[in-house]
Amino acid sequence: MLGIRWGRQLARFALGCVALGLVALALARAPQDGDTVALSQLPREAQQVMQLIRQGGPFPYEKDGTVFFNRERLLPPAKRGYYREYTVPTPGLPHRGQRRIVCGGWTPTVPEACYYTADHYASFRRIVP
């Protein structure tokens, strides 16, 4: 009886440690205050996409403006539908490439925060004016 009780407590402790570890990992990978990029430092194509976002389009790719689910959990947590993704064209590529802008906010033309990724969601930098 005593062994079963200790086993359950040890299992709960282990699960708690795993949960804390996952939270720490997500926070460590999320964009920090220093992970920013000025809009003027982004590629010209990204600056043009930001203009299109603010004017509501038109966007050249069908996926532009669709919900970004943040499956990588690299952006701050938010309710479904908060984030939207947009393609940043790469000159010379015949496909969408890896560059994206992801904006958060409930009004797409007035985003609360936008993030740039050059590596298809492996990392993000917050775009600042």
Ramachandran class of 16: left when φ > 0, alpha when ψ lies in -120 to 50, beta otherwise: alpha
Which of 49, 43, 33 lies closest to 124, judged by CA? 33
CA angle 63/64/70 to nearest 5° reads 80
Tell me the residue type at 98. Q
Which residue is listed with tokens 């990978």? 29
- Does 95 participate in catalysis according to the annotation? no
Active-site choice (62, 72, 112, 120)? 120
Torsion sign over Cα 123, 129, 62, 105: positive
- Does 85 participate in catalysis according to the annotation? yes
Active-site choice (62, 72, 85, 112)? 85
Q: What is the DSSP letter of 109?
A: T
Query: Which positions are catalytic?
Result: 85, 120
